[in-house]
């Protein structure tokens, strides 16, 4: 728009000067308006802006463009509301009607504070704040024509206000943003991003076992730990997002323009690993963990309350899934707090009704396959829930005194069962850190041995590094008491912590168990896992300890760990955990040996599934069954006559579309290779990096008649005649393998 026209619009809005009015001896000249406007803009006092009826910027002063350090082409034509975040960030004025609302309502805008927020420009990074005013322009028929307005840069004054309001915006302990700021900031970002169709990731996390630090080391130690946690989070997140402490041990991270679930999962994994490193506090060491819940706007919510609730539910799912994990939000997540209480009550009833079982996984000698130990693993088959994983119910029990009851039951049952085995076979029982710190724990162990008649050296207690949190004298006293009883002690999950060597120096362990995570990658050339296994075995031998390598599932792994000196091996290649009846059956023949039996090569990414999915080809959607899934491909059944090389789109649900090519066929079975690999969903499954909305598909030209039934605009459904289906759909029945 011409500058003259804008000036005329502004003049009309604020009053037309009287051309005949005399000021002193001079008569007002309307032609002066153009030069006055030019002088006004050049002086830098303020700027002029204008939009069209669609809300797109059609004019802005040259000086403003120079100050923003952006080419005019990146500003002109942009939606005006996409250029700014609203006055929700103003420390002086809180408006319930932000810029987006004001402009859509065609209201006048007076001295509204906004933050320039176009993409990742240098202006956006250095926090440019404007005060803008404007009025709606209508033609003679009352038709809205757009906005005409003025603006000036208030960044210096505003930054001063931010400093003055720091106490109200920041957590005094950690220096991170507080809940008040994070709520306002998230509201502002999501409001601006909705109009600009941008995404925003949100992470919620709290600290696992933080209460134990407060209880055992005192609240000052807990405060010192929170300060260290905040510093680690700053180092991990950097300038990718904003971090806040919401209170207690709860933290939140806002990640604008990040919806790649692969990158979000990698960041969450890094946070979990780094926050799990020991914290030096008053010449002691505290060990905690963290769980992370992730939600992404707009897929998991379009308002602040929705996206916050989604991330909360994902966090609860991560905690209830075993802690030390991340979860993405999905529509099928229940209210996990309520679910946790129901699970806890069901677990109490199951324990009292003797509905829990112990199964035993063999530990064998590599040289002759002789079983020398059996690890007791808890099993719970719920009448409605089905098989409930210990990774799910043990963390819930650890939050209450129920873990001590569970632990006592497991010790009594394991000792009684082991008394029926050959005397050459020991039993290993996992011990929670909560159990270990219970002053009565040694008495519970002594009672289990006495009532069963089991020799003490046949009982092996498996402990993790978390037992070393808190009072070291109490820990040492418990070690001494247990060794007096004559039981064996094993350090489980060795290599996953960061200070295990100090524990080996001071604690009387008889065995080290190499964590399965090293075994999973020991056959990969670009990993150091095999070298680490060899180093751990060498260290253990030097200290006169046994070593068990756990998690061996294939012959190629077995070959590697044997070559590195492994003498005791545990894993599915030899046997899964077996009930007591099956164990007694195997030992009844006399010598207890198990030969390895399993796949030649380990394939960690392969998962057997039974999942109904959609398959899209041309403008047709077929129903099929997925039988096998990996990061790079899948095996599906249900289509006949599909040639090799056919391009398909697999609809995995919830906006997850995977482009693939048929690489092999056999009857109704198709092997499909993915164009883009899947990523971990944090729950042991796989998901797509990105999700796609039906509307985006329509814009891209994919016919909506090929999509699953949904709520789509009627006009988008009528997109031309459909072609004849090329493949035959076959009904597939069966269940998961």
pLDDT tens digits, 441-496: 999 999 999 999 999 999 999 998 777 765 577 788 899 999 999 999 998 887 66
- Confidence bin at 115 (pLDDT 50/70/90): confident
pLDDT score for 534: 92
**pLDDT tens-digit map of 62-103:** 888 888 878 888 889 988 888 887 644 455 554 445 678 888
Tell me: pLDDT of 51 over 80.
yes
- Among candidate residues 71, 53, 83, the one with its CA nearest the CA of residue 198: 83
Q: Give residue-wise pLDDT tens across range 658-704.
A: 999 999 998 889 999 999 999 888 777 788 988 875 446 555 555 54
Contacts (Cβ under 8 Å, ≥6 apart) of 22: none
Instruction: Tell which wins on pLDDT, 27 or 34.
Output: 34
4: pLDDT strictly greater than 90: no
Full set of structural domains in the chain with CATH: 3-154 (3.30.450.20), 165-333 (3.30.70.270), 339-587 (3.20.20.450), 607-729 (2.40.10)
Distance CA 668, CA 639 (A): 5
The two tokens of residue 164 are: 């003055």
Q: Is residue 126's pLDDT more than 90?
A: no
Closest listed residue to residue 293, CA positions, set 328, 264, 263: 328
Task: Tell me what pLDDT residue 295 has.
Answer: 94
3 state SS for 215-282: HHHCHHHHHHHHHHHHHHHHHHHHHHCEEEEEECCEEEEEEECCCCHHHHHHHHHHHHHHHCCCEEEC
Tokens standing for residue 62: 């040259």
> Which of 19-23, 164-168, 213-217 comes out lowest in average pLDDT?
19-23
The pLDDT, as a whole number, for residue 455 is 96
Output the pLDDT for position 736: 41
The 10 Å Cβ neighbour count of residue 22 is 9
Question: How far is residue 339's CA from residue 385's CA, in Å, rounded to a whole number?
Answer: 12
- Residue 590 has a pLDDT of 66
| Dihedral sign from CA coordinates of 258, 262, 264, 267 | negative
Rounded-to-integer distance, Cα 273 and Cα 646, Å: 42
Most confidently predicted of 21-35, 394-408, 709-723: 394-408
Per-residue confidence band for 423, with pLDDT thresholds at 50, 70 and 90: very high
Span 627-642, average pLDDT: 88
Pairing relation of β-strands 546-550 and 568-570? parallel
Entry pTM: 0.59
Least confidently predicted of 78-82, 132-136, 585-589, 708-712: 708-712
- Tens-digit pLDDT profile for residues 363-386: 999 999 999 999 999 999 988 888
> How far is residue 282 from each of residues 218, 222, 725, measured CA to CA in Å?
11, 11, 72
**Other residues' Cβ atoms within 10 Å of the Cβ of residue 32:** 12
For 501-506, the CB contacts below 8 A with 24+ separation are 503/465, 503/468, 504/539, 504/543, 504/545, 506/476
Provide mean pLDDT across the span 132-136: 92
Q: How far apart are CA 217 and CA 210, in angstroms?
A: 10
**Least confident among 41-50, 92-101, 329-338, 582-591:** 92-101
| The pLDDT value given to residue 449 | 96
pLDDT above 90: residue 419? yes
Identify the pLDDT of residue 20. Answer: 46
Q: What are phi and psi of 110, to 5 degrees?
A: -125, 115
Q: What is the pLDDT of residue 99?
A: 77
Helix, strand, coil shares, percent, the chain, to 5: 40, 30, 35
Q: What is the pLDDT of residue 89?
A: 47
- The answer to whether the CB of 37 falls within 8 A of the CB of 48 is yes
Residue 25 CA to its chain's centroid (Å): 74
pLDDT higher than 90, residue 708: no
Q: What percentage of the chain exceeds 90 in pLDDT? A: 40
pLDDT-above-70 percentage for the chain: 83
Note whether 596 and 558 are within 8 A (CB). yes
Burial class (CB in 10 A: 0-12, 13-18, 19+), 42: exposed
Stretch 239-249: mean pLDDT, rounded? Answer: 94
């Amino acid at each position: 728009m011409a500058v003259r026209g804008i000036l005329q619009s502004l003049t009309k809005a604020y009053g037309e000067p009287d051309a005949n009015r005399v000021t002193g001896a001079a008569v007002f000249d309307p032609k002066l308006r153009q030069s006055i406007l030019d002088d006004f803009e050049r002086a830098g006092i303020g700027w002029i802006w204008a939009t069209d009826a669609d809300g797109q910027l059609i004019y802005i002063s040259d000086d403003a463009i120079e100050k923003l350090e952006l080419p005019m082409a990146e500003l002109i034509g942009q939606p005006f509301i996409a250029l700014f975040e609203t006055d929700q960030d103003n420390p002086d004025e809180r408006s319930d009607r932000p810029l987006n609302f004001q402009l859509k309502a065609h209201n006048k805008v007076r001295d509204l504070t906004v933050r320039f927020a176009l993409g990742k420009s240098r202006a956006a990074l250095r926090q440019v704040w404007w005060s803008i005013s404007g009025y709606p322009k209508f033609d003679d028929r009352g038709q809205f024509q757009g906005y005409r307005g003025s603006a000036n840069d208030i960044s210096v004054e505003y930054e001063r206000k931010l400093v003055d309001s720091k106490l109200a915006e920041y957590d005094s302990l950690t220096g991170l943003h507080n809940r008040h700021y994070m709520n306002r900031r998230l509201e502002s970002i999501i409001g601006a991003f909705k109009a600009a169709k941008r995404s925003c990731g949100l992470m919620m996390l709290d600290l696992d076992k933080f209460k134990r630090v407060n209880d055992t080391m005192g609240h000052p130690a807990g405060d010192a730990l929170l300060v260290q946690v905040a510093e680690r989070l700053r180092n991990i997140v950097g300038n990718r997002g904003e971090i806040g402490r919401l209170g207690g041990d709860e933290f939140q991270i806002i990640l604008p323009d990040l919806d790649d679930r692969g990158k979000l999962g990698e960041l969450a994994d890094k946070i979990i690993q780094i926050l799990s490193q020991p914290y030096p506090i008053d010449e002691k060491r505290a060990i905690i963990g963290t769980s992370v819940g992730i939600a992404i706007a707009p897929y998991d919510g379009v308002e602040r309350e929705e996206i916050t609730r989604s991330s909360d539910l994902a966090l609860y799912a991560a905690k209830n899934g075993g802690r030390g994990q991340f979860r993405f939000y999905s529509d099928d997540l229940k209210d996990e707090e309520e679910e946790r209480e129901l699970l806890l009550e069901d677990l109490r009833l199951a324990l009292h009704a003797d509905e829990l079982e112990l199964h035993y996984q063999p530990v064998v000698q590599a040289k002759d396959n002789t079983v020398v130990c059996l690890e007791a693993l808890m099993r719970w088959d719920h009448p409605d829930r089905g098989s409930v994983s210990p990774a799910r119910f043990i963390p819930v029990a650890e939050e209450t005194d129920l873990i001590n009851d569970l632990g006592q039951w497991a010790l009594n049952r394991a000792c009684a069962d082991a008394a029926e085995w050959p005397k050459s076979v020991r039993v290993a029982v996992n011990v929670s850190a909560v159990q270990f710190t219970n002053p009565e724990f040694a008495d519970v162990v002594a009672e289990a041995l006495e009532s069963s008649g089991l020799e003490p050296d046949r009982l092996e207690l498996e402990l993790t590094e978390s037992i070393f949190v808190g009072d070291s004298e109490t820990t040492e006293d418990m070690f001494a008491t247990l060794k007096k009883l004559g039981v064996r002690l094993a350090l489980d999950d060795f290599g996953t912590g960061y200070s295990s060597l100090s524990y080996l120096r001071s604690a009387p362990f008889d065995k080290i168990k190499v964590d399965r995570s090293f075994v999973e990658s020991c056959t990969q050339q670009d990993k150091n896992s095999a070298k680490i296994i060899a180093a751990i075995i060498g260290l253990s031998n030097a200290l006169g300890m046994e070593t068990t390598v756990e998690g061996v599932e294939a012959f190629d792994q077995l070959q590697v760990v044997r070559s590195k000196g492994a003498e005791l091996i545990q894993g599915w290649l030899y046997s899964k955990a077996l009930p007591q009846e099956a164990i007694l059956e195997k030992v009844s023949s006399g010598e207890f040996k198990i030969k390895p039996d399993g796949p030649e090569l380990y394939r960690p990414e392969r998962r057997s599934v039974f999942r109904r999915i959609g398959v899209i080809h041309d403008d047709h959607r077929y129903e099929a069954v997925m039988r096998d899934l990996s990061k790079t491909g899948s095996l599906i059944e249900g289509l006949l006559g599909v040639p090799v090389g056919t391009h398909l789109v697999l609809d995995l649900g919830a906006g997850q579309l995977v482009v693939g090519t048929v690489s092999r066929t056999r009857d109704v079975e198709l092997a499909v290779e993915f164009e883009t690999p899947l990523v971990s969903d944090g729950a042991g499954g796989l998901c797509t990096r990105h999700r796609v909305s039906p509307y985006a598909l329509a814009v891209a030209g994919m016919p909506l008649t090929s999509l699953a039934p949904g709520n789509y605009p009627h006009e988008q459904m009528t997109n031309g005649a459909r072609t004849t289906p090329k493949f035959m759909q076959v009904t597939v029945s069966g269940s998961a393998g």
